[in-house]
Every structure is written in C-alpha cells, then in structure tokens.
Structure 1
Amino acid sequence: MGFLRNIGPLEIILILVIILIVFGVGKLPEIGSGVGKAIKEFRNSVGSDKKDDKEKK
C-alpha cells in the first residue's frame, strides 16, 4: 500500500467531504456497510488462501 503513504490527514478529510457531498448523509451508513462487508470478504479469502498454501506444504 505504498500509495497511501503520501495521503495526509487533510487529504483524507477532503475525500470524506467530497463523498459526503456526492452521496449525501442518508447513503453513508449503506455505503459504509457495503465497504465493511467487502473488506471482510477480502480478508477471509486472503486468509483461506494462506491456509491452503500451508496445507499443501
């Protein structure tokens, strides 16, 4: 995640404000829930891949 090193707190706030303007307050919980589920599924799939690699050895 090298590209995230160059993002400071001001940039993060600016991105959040733009998201708030574009999607509105009502959609934020829905978007947050979707992003959270996607991250959880990604971590689970990466974790299961690591387990499969260990079992093959």
Structure 2
Amino acid sequence: MFNGIGAPEILIVLGIIVLLFGGRKLPELARGSGRALRIFKSEIRESEQEDKKADPTARAIDPAAVERHDDTTR
C-alpha cells in the first residue's frame, strides 16, 4: 500500500507541516491530538464494558468453532 513512500517523502511532508503550522504550534497540535486519541480510546473501552455488562452471557464467537451449515437440505 505504501510501497512508494520513503524517507525523502516523509521529510517533505514533515517540512510542509512545519511551514503550515509553524514551530510554535506543533507541540500544541501534538498535545491536542494525543488528548483526542486518549478520549477516543477511553470511550471505546467504556462502550465495550457496557456491552459486556448488558449481556453477561454473550461470548466472543470463535470462527474456527462455528460449524458450516449447508442450505441444500431444504
């Protein structure tokens, strides 16, 4: 997928980001992105915990354990 992306391309992209946002804004941008990612992860965890509490008998389905059923017997 990213076969054509190498070090020179990454450096060019980073250079453009520095030019667009400036050196002073980059730490704020990174901090804000980190906060947003932490909030997103915590919301995902809470959602998963609520799902488990809502249906305690529900188990994860193991695809290898599921038997195949043919509809040809009809």
Q: Distance in 2 between matches of 1:36 and 1:9?
A: 25
**CA distance in structure 2 between the aligned counterparts of 1:40 and 1:15, rounded to whole angstroms:** 25
Q: 1 or 2, which has the higher helix percentage?
A: 1
- TM-score under structure 1 normalisation? 0.75
Corresponding residue for residue 22 of structure 1: 20
Change (3 A) 1:31 1:56: same
Alignment size in residue pairs: 53
Q: Deviation at 1:12?
A: 3.8
Question: Runs of 5+ in structure 2 lacking a partner?
Answer: 56-74
Counting aligned pairs with the same residue, the percent is 32
Q: What's the CA shift string for 1:10-39, capped at 9, x where partnerless?
A: 444333221111011011111010000000
Larger of the two Rg values belongs to structure: 2
- Matched residue type, 2:34: G
TM-score norm. by structure 2 comes to 0.60
Bigger relative contact order, structure 1 or 2 (CA pairs below 8 A, ≥6 apart): 1
CA 1:54–1:12 in 2, change beyond 3 Å: closer, same or farther?
farther
C-alpha RMSD of the superposition = 1.9
